[in-house]
A and B are shown apart, each in its own frame.
Chain A
Amino acid sequence: MPINDIVIRVAGESGEGIVTIGEVFVRIAAFSGLEVYTFRTFPAEILGGHVIFQARIADRPVLSQGDDINVLVSLNQEGYDTHVSELEAGGIVIYDDAVVTPRDSDRHLLYPIPVSQIANSLNFPRGSNLVMVGAMVQLMGLPFERAEQVVRRRLGRYAEMLPKNLEALAAGYRYAQERFPSHPPAYLVPPEQIAEEKLVLTGYQAIALGALAAGCRFFAGYPITPATDLMEFMASELPKAGGTVVQAEDEIAAINMVIGASFAGLPSMTATSGPGLSLMIEAIGLASMAEIPIVVVDVQRAGPATGMPTKTAQGDLYMAFYAGADEAPRFVIAPSSVEDCFYQTINAFNMAELYQMPVIILSDQALAPRVETCTFFNLENIRLWKRQLAELKPGQPFERYKITHSGVSPITIPGTPGGQYVAEGLEHNEQGHPDYSPEMHRLMTKKRWNKVNAARHHVFGLENAVEEWGDQDAAIGILGWGSSLGPVKEAMVRAQAAGYRVAALFPKILFPMPDVRIRRFIRGRRILIIPELNSLGQFARVIEHRYTRQLVQDSISVISLNKYDGLPFRPVEIFEEIKRVSALLTRRTWPR
């Protein structure tokens, strides 16, 4: 029975307050000094449809949502029926016995709490969720004072309801205490003292805070699941910093406003999901051509067209890398944890501003809304890179698109006397005047791509551009990107404990590709496992294409581990693949 590393799943109908129960409970755990990591799926409908909120809670850093469920909280029969098969043998079911009848009751430990009855007895039927939270706090061993603090902080907005909410919380806690005097076999032990300074926040919030730290002062967006929360957070915070948020009429308007605002001097961003990104692609080409810094966040979701808006995927890599007319250089960055979201967003703004380029941040539906505990952000060590302003010389025409070694041409901001130029979407000469000559198109294409090469040499000096760990001499290497880093890390801990040797590399900046680091990483390996939440193995194909010669010469095999069911990797899936691939290596026929 696990103690201090527990996976709790709350399941029920959308509209029953599943997410409220989950969010309040994980915050109580986090504020009690434990580490948390949440995962949720929900239907796109506001009311009705199946929803889960899952939290892994431990006394050490948590990197994935875990494998088996230890505790299932269900508020209706369907929630119980759908999820009980994933509950470990001997696992705990906490449920409202007025509406849920457990089958299979000898396999699990049952903790019935008549939440609606308790709430009704308080004349507060809507309080049943907090009754459940109170019972969960007691059963899982969390301190009641922390629970009270969190409810005050989180639900304090509805001041007139606060006494009722606290009453419901206490009633649930007391009921569980009286009915179940001893702990269930799985529970949590919060540390006596909370030493380290930590933050508890979502991926959205980390990106938004990173943007604010990077000096972002304009945001335009259009509502789209699962990126809307980012716009809402910016709408609340950006005006306080003197900035502006516009809810545009569509994604095309949003990104063009962002380009206009950046042209006028403000670091600017938008956020969307795959369908919105595809609408923005033409304008990303414009930002690339006219050399205007912008940051575009893509919270990836599953499926083409409307697909599965509330499910996760890593399927937009090709679109981020390549989509658009002809060839438009851009940068692509993929953060891998909530904490990383903050620092990579700063990298995104820095690269956009310094190189006057569009930068796409690839987040996803699992990373963006999840709550993690992370080390307090250090604002003092942040270095901001600014766009290089032109020194204007009287009598000399300003050359906005001057060809330079790095490809970066100093810029002016409207309002600067003598700095007038036209930001041009047509091919143009150094002055920015339209020019279709073969020579000019060749020169300017090269100039724009030179910025990618200049960045390749420059940004990989950044400490957080790449994350590499594991057994350096291992024959098996895992190469991945984005939010699958956590499950890979946990799988590797297990693999190493079981005697398998594995190394891993996750570039955070994917475009430009960190060639030197990747070449060094794959040298001497025999197998590269590339785990991705897509069906084609998009990153694997990029790697195969880019490093063909080395892979062929050194007989290194690339094995794609593809998952495309709308759900994130579980550590066990990566671990099983490590085991399978290790067995392949021991075969005599495997190429040496």
Chain B
Amino acid sequence: MTLDHPVPIKDLKSDVKPIWCPGCGDYGVMHAVLKAISELQLDPAHIVIASGIGCSGRFPAFVKTYGFHGIHGRALPLATGVKIANPNLTVLAVSGDGDGLSIGAGHLPHAARRNVDITYLVLDNAVYGLTKGQPSPTSAWGMKTKASPYGTVEHPLNPVAMMLACGTTFVARGFSARPQELAEIVKQGILHPGFAFIEIISPCVTFLDTYAFYKQRVVSIPENHDRTDRMAALALAFETEKIHLGIFYQDPDSHPHHTTLSEMRQKISGSYSLQALLERFRR
């Protein structure tokens, strides 16, 4: 649902003060998302933002859309239920790397298989912030924390490559310190008719300040990259020297879940009557 005018960003913020630490990447993400909503002239009453647990999970409280702050790891199934129930809504889901890639990781391939029309933002800081600094599925190998005093012995996931392999129809990466570029990626994700997975590097200034590390390494995806080429996208995702930002892959023929469902219903439905259904069981 679009309006004939943009809602200004300041009017999209609720009067709840964010709990995020000063300098947290999540502020940049929120600004970019609100900018995308405003520029797309979306009606906040027709937007639902579902989230799980962690610093990212607080996101819905700070914006004036509908929101659902659910339990740990379940933002995607919540959002899936919302989108199926009312496909006219714009549905976003917000997780962190713990919520989305650890406890909730089991939902990722299935959201991709369904191609449910959700924009999924994974705010990746490579650390558990809200529980004060444990290693996450994207933490570098050997990272020392209070929970891994001798260094982690698990290797980090590559979320972009993983979601490309799952057949996701839109895969992108943004960086909270580049809000303009991020807002554009989020806009494209919302406009994409299908499951849009966006990994957003969003550093944690308190437990793992990676701003300097990323600022040295991030580059925009080269303009000549063919974003309809999944294998080329995978090659970019696996590059180790540079960390690419932008849209890795987008399926131009993406057919969203709710459209498939409504086509199926049209094919099977005549006129529905419960009384007629009962007659099938009449003695």
Contacts and interface: CB of A to CB of B under 8 A. Distances in A.
A257 B277 contact: no
Contacts of B45: 414-420
A239 B70 contact: no
B6 to A, nearest CB: 16
Nearest to B53: A425
A209 B279 CA distance: 12
A379 B74 contact: no
Lowest 6 CB-CB distances: which A-B pairs, in order?
Answer: A260-B81, A264-B85, A256-B77, A422-B67, A257-B81, A261-B81
A260 B85 CA distance: 8
Given A205-B281, A244-B261, A420-B44, A218 B272 contact: no
Contacts of B269: 239-240, 242
Interface string B15-38: 010000000000000000000000
A261 B79 CA distance: 8
Given A199-B283, A414-B66, A258 B274 contact: no
A433 interface: yes
Given A377-B278, A414-B48, A418-B45, A257 B78 contact: yes
B228 interface: no
Contacts of A373: 283
Given A242-B265, A242-B269, A422-B60, A261 B84 contact: yes
Chain A interface size range: 35 or more
A266 B274 contact: no
A229 to B, nearest CB: 14
Given A199-B278, A264-B86, A419-B45, A259 B283 contact: no
Contacts of B71: 256, 282-283, 285-286, 425
Contacts, number: 178
Contact of A198 (B48, B60, B86, B282): B282
Main secondary structure of the interface of B (DSSP, over half): helix
B68 interface: yes
Contacts of A218: 81, 84-85
A541 B281 CA distance: 40
9 contacts: A33-B283, A209-B274, A212-B277, A240-B272, A283-B70, A376-B278, A417-B45, A420-B67, A425-B71
B61 interface: yes
Interface of B: 1, 16, 43-46, 48, 50, 58, 60-61, 64-71, 74, 76-86, 88-89, 106-107, 109-110, 261, 264-265, 268-270, 272, 274-275, 277-278, 281-283
B86 A414 contact: yes
Interface in A408-430: 414-426
Nearest to B269: A240
Contact of A258 (B81, B270, B275): B81
A423 B283 contact: no
A426 B71 CA distance: 9
A268 interface: yes
Contacts of A426: 69
Contacts of A379: 274-275, 278
B61 A434 contact: yes
A84 to B, nearest CB: 33
Nearest to A31: B283
Main secondary structure of the interface of A (DSSP, over half): mixed
A246 B84 contact: yes
A197 B66 contact: no
Given A239-B268, A257-B80, 12 more contacts: A209-B274, A209-B277, A239-B265, A240-B270, A252-B77, A256-B78, A259-B78, A282-B71, A415-B89, A417-B45, A420-B44, A422-B67
A252 B66 CA distance: 23
A200 B283 contact: yes
B2 to A, nearest CB: 14
Given A260-B85, A264-B89, A197 B272 contact: no
A323 interface: no
B107 A249 contact: yes
A200 B82 CA distance: 36
A1 interface: no
B68 A415 contact: no
Contact of A420 (B66, B70, B278): B66
A241 interface: yes
Nearest to A35: B283
